[in-house]
Amino acid sequence: MPSTASSFKSRAEHRAWLAGQAALPAGFRTGTARFEFTPREAPLPAKMALTVIALDKPTADFAAVFTKNAFPGAPVIIGRRRLEEPALGAIVINNKISNVCAPGGVEVAERICGEAARLVGFGPKEIWPSSTGVIGWGLPEGAMVAALPSAVAALRGDSILPAAEGIVTTDLYPKIRRAQVGEGSIVAIAKGAGMIEPNLATMLVFILTDLAVPRAKLREILREAVEGSFNSISIDSDMSTSDTVILASSGRVPCPDTAAFGRALGQVCSDLAEDIVRNGEGVRHVIRVRVTGAPDAALARGIGKSIVNAPLFKCAVAGNDPNVGRLVSAVGKYVGPSAPGADLSRLRIKMGGVEIFSGGVFQLNPEKEKALAAHLRSAELYQSAPPKDGVFSPPIDFPRHERCVEIEVELGAGSAGATILGGDLTHEYVSENADYRS
């Protein structure tokens, strides 16, 4: 469960909670500018938000983790090079176009960084680009360069909320999580919301801290935090070309305890990962699979991912239909080809605390069926209704609760485990992705 959040009754209540999370750590400012432009590839008006996250002065203490997709976006290509640079001064983030395999994409991104560098007074290699949106289109360089002065002029050091709002695409609401360690803090924002199966996802995450942790240690801690959080979620199994997590420390506050910092970062990442799933495209139910008793973590992760990625089970969850046959089938379709020697003889599976499988057979009856259906309904984020215009869209712009469809898979064959989060497969997902060029 998330460490800090709870249920919300209205968008206003959620916004107030977000505002309470949003205080920037010392040494950071953010600014956003919005503008219209016309993409070359599809000549229709489009809107872009350009967000700058700037340190007061460049820092040597930064870390990043990127997608493993073989066609990384230009920002990922540049970001990998920037990891070798001595310092990070600012990040320039745009939504709408992801700048992936666009002709000249790297050069355009570098020129925009150069312009931003001039405006904030840092070196061009101290500026990181970050982009999300349509894959294949080219960035509107002229319009972005023209908007940069407004974004820089908007830089303020009080709240990260405007930046959290600036980086989103199809997200229904901004996502902010924070943690306190001694006198310092960690504050992080994320952009979801589709093409989410990390290693990482079309997921941009920016984590800012004023706690002084040296570069090498910061990178080690980030890798660990990502594995148990952003690499343990899947909305639709699509690993994006742009997934990026960037962590920067302004070093303004001494870190009292590196282990405590690691735990706090892990919690922030887990909370934010769950936020990303909960606001995944079309997600009406968050599915949490806890696999225990596995001989190794890889098998536990594989089983968990297979369940949250099984389209038929995801559809059943969407319909509040406790079709647990599809759940067990999803376990079997992973184990059969990928771990054929695994011992499943002591396998027990529960959903919502109700045992549905043990001793090699299903344990079902009409009373359990009712209890399972009630559990599914209780985890629903909103009710789906057929729309008049044929396009399903979620009728909410805040998370009403943080409940999940809870699945426990106990293998009884070891001591390794994994917790994997995913979402259901809904009409809202299809509407979003069949009708919307994101």
Judged by CB under 8 A, does residue 321 bind its own copies?
Answer: yes
β 405-410/286-294 pair status: parallel
- Catalytic residue (one of 30, 202, 244, 426): 202
Judged by CB under 8 A, does residue 271 bind its own copies?
Answer: no
Q: Between 127 and 411, name the residue whose CB sits nearer to its own copies.
A: 411
Give the CA angle between residues 125, 218, 252 to the nearest 5°.
Answer: 80
Judged by CB under 8 A, does residue 429 bind its own copies?
Answer: yes
Judged by CB under 8 A, does residue 389 bind its own copies?
Answer: yes
Site map for its own copies, 112-151, x if CB under 8 A?
----------------------xxxx--------------
Angle between helices 297-308 and 324-338 (to 10 degrees): 140
Judged by CB under 8 A, does residue 45 bind its own copies?
Answer: no
- β-bridge mates for residue 178, sequence order: 187
What is the distance between the alpha carbons of residues 346 and 194, in angstroms, rounded to a whole number? 36
CA 77, distance to chain mean position in Å, is 20
Judged by CB under 8 A, does residue 315 bind its own copies?
Answer: yes
Within 137-293, where are the H helices?
141-153, 161-166, 215-227, 258-278
Judged by CB under 8 A, does residue 308 bind its own copies?
Answer: no
> Which residue shows structure tokens 């299903």?
362
Q: What does the DSSP 8-state code read for residue 319? A: T
Site map for its own copies, 96-115, x if CB under 8 A?
--x-xxxx-x----------
Q: Using CB under 8 A, which of 55, 148, 200, 310 touches its own copies?
A: 310
Closest distance of CB 389 from its own copies, Å: 7
Encoded tokens for 358: 């043990």
Number of residues that bind its own copies (CB under 8 A): 81
Site map for its own copies, 47-86, x if CB under 8 A?
--------------------xxxxxx--------------
Q: Using CB under 8 A, which of 2, 228, 325, 414 touches its own copies?
A: 325
Judged by CB under 8 A, does residue 376 bind its own copies?
Answer: no
For residue 419, give the nearest of 5, 69, 3, 1 by alpha carbon.
1
Closest distance of CB 17 from its own copies, Å: 31
Q: Using CB under 8 A, which of 45, 84, 360, 415 touches its own copies?
A: 360
Binding residues among 180-239 for its own copies as defined by CB under 8 A: 194-195, 197, 199, 236-239
Closest distance of CB 35 from its own copies, Å: 22
Phi, psi at residue 40, to the nearest 5°? -60, -40
DSSP string, 66-114: E---SS--HHHHHHHHHTTSS-EEEEEEE-SB---S-TTHHHHHHHHHH
Q: Cα–Cα distances in Å, from 280 out to 72, 197, 234, 388, 423?
A: 22, 11, 9, 23, 7
CB burial of residue 86 (10 Å; 0-12, 13-18, 19+) = exposed
Site map for its own copies, 23-42, x if CB under 8 A?
-----------------xxx
Closest distance of CB 230 from its own copies, Å: 15
Q: Give yes or no: 202 in active site.
A: yes
Q: Using CB under 8 A, which of 45, 84, 337, 415 touches its own copies?
A: 337
DSSP string, 179-208: EEETTEEEEEEEE--SSB-SSS-S-EEEEE
Q: Between 13 and 41, name the residue whose CB sits nearer to its own copies.
A: 41
Q: Using CB under 8 A, which of 84, 142, 340, 415 touches its own copies?
A: 340
Q: Which amino acid is at 3?
A: S
Binding residues among 409-428 for its own copies as defined by CB under 8 A: 425-427
- List residues with catalytic annotation: 202
